[in-house]
Amino acid sequence: MNKAFLFDLLSTGSVSGSETVLEKKIYDYMQDKADKVEVDELGNVTAILNPEAPFKVLMAGHADEIGLMITAVSEDGMLKVTRIGGIYTTTYPGHKVRIYTKNGVIYGAVANSRNIAKNAELKASDLRIDIGAKDKEDALRYVELGDTATFDTDVREMLNDCITGRALDDRLGAYIVMEALAEAKKKGTTAVCYSVSTTGEETTGNGAYFTASRVKPNICIAVDVTYTSDNCGIDTADTGDISVGKGPVICNNPSIHKKLNELLRACATKLNMEIQTEAANGRTGTDGDTMHQTGIGVPFALVSIPLRYMHNPDEVGSLKDVQDCIDLLAEFFVCCSETPDLKPF
C-alpha cells in the first residue's frame, strides 16, 4: 500500500462538485499503473486495462466529500454557508475550516457560543465562518460565492492499523479501486477493467452516471463505506453485525446481483480472507444505484469498507480493511478473465 499517496488524498479538499485537485492527483498517480488513463469533462478519472477485450468490468469509488459552500457574506465580513451532502451541522461550531478558493486555501473559524452549542436544531444557514475579514468587501477580495469548505483536519494513525480523518468516505474507495486495477494488471487479468474515481456521489450522482453511460460495462462494483455496529448506540437490526478491522463487507439487498456476490465470496475464499455481510432494503445510497440503471441496465454489487462515525470529522477505518479490499477486488478483476454466467437459472 502506498500510504504516503493515500494520506495525501485524504488531506486534499474534494467537496462534491469541486474535486479537480484530487482527481488530478489520481490521474498522475495512475499513469504508469494502467494501460490507459482518461479524464472526462466532469473530472472523473478512469484507469483502464485491456481495452480491446469483450467483457467489461467497472469499479467505482467516489472522490468527492461532504462539506460546506459559501453562499453569502454579511456586512461584518462573516461567511454564510449551505450544506453540501449529509453533514452533521452541530459538529462545525468551534472548529477550524479550510476554504478552497481559486487562489488557494484560506483558513476560517466557525463561530461558537453557549447559545449555539445548546441548539440541537442548528441548520447550515445558522453557521458563520470568521476568516478575519474587516468587512464584506474585504472578505470578497479573497472568497467567491460558491467556494467550498471542509474541516481543517488531517489524517492520523491510531492503534491496530486504524486511521482517523474526515471523508475517508469515500476517498478510501477511490484509492482502493485504483490500486486493485494496478494489482490486477500485475496478476495478468485479461478482462477489460475500468476503475473510476467518480465526482458528485454525495450530491448529484453525475460522475457515476457519466462514466457508466459511456463505458457501458457488463457488470459494475461500487466501492464505498458502510456503517458499523462496533460503536455506541447502534442497533444491529439496522446495520448488521459489522466491525472495523474484520474485512470487506458484501451487501445483500433487492438490487444487488446475487451471482456477483457469489463470485466475490469465491475470490475471498481463494485468498483465505475473512469478509463480512450486511443486509439492506431498497437502494444502497451509493454510485451502484446510479450505474445499475444506466444503458440497458447493469448488474452490480457493493463492496464496503467498514467505517465508524460516517460523515463526521473523525471517521475511523482500518488500513488492513483497505488492503483486503484491494486484494479482493484485484482477484475479482482476474476472475472476470472468464466471462461469468449471471443468469439466475
Q: Which amino acids are annotated catalytic? A: 201
Examine residue 224 and tell whether it contacts Zn ion (CB under 5 A).
Answer: yes
Name the minimum Å distance from CB 288 to Zn ion. 11
Rounded to whole angstroms, the Cα distance separating 38 from 141 reads 35
State which residue, 179 or 224, has the beta carbon closest to Zn ion: 224
Instruction: Name the one range near Zn ion by CB under 5 A: 49-57, 121-129, 161-169, 242-250.
Output: 161-169
Question: Is residue 287 involved in binding Zn ion (CB under 5 A)?
Answer: no
Which amino acid is present at 65?
E
Cβ closest to Zn ion, residue 285 vs residue 340? 285
C-beta neighbour count of 257 within 10 angstroms: 19
The yes or no reply on residue 152 touching Zn ion (CB under 5 A) is: no
**Which member of 65, 169, 179, 331 binds Zn ion (CB under 5 A)?**
169
Calculate the alpha carbon distances from 21 to 4, 137, 151, 203, 219 in Å.
17, 28, 17, 18, 29
CB of 169 or CB of 183, closer to Zn ion:
169
| Residue 216 φ/ψ region, left for φ over 0, alpha for ψ in the -120 to 50 degree band, beta for the rest | left
Measured from the CB atom, the residue of 122 and 234 that comes closer to Zn ion is 234
| Part of the chain binding Zn ion (CB under 5 A), chosen from 97-105, 149-157, 222-230, 333-341 | 222-230
Q: How many residues bind Zn ion (CB under 5 A)?
A: 3
Binding mask 177-216 for Zn ion (x = CB under 5 A): ----------------------------------------
Contact assessment for residue 42 and residue 206, using Cβ atoms and an 8 Å cutoff = yes
Residue 333's φ and ψ, nearest 5 degrees, are -55, -40
Closest CA to 203 of 15, 22, 13: 15
Positive or negative torsion for Cα 316, 284, 274, 341:
negative
Q: Which residues bind Zn ion (CB under 5 A)?
A: 169-170, 224
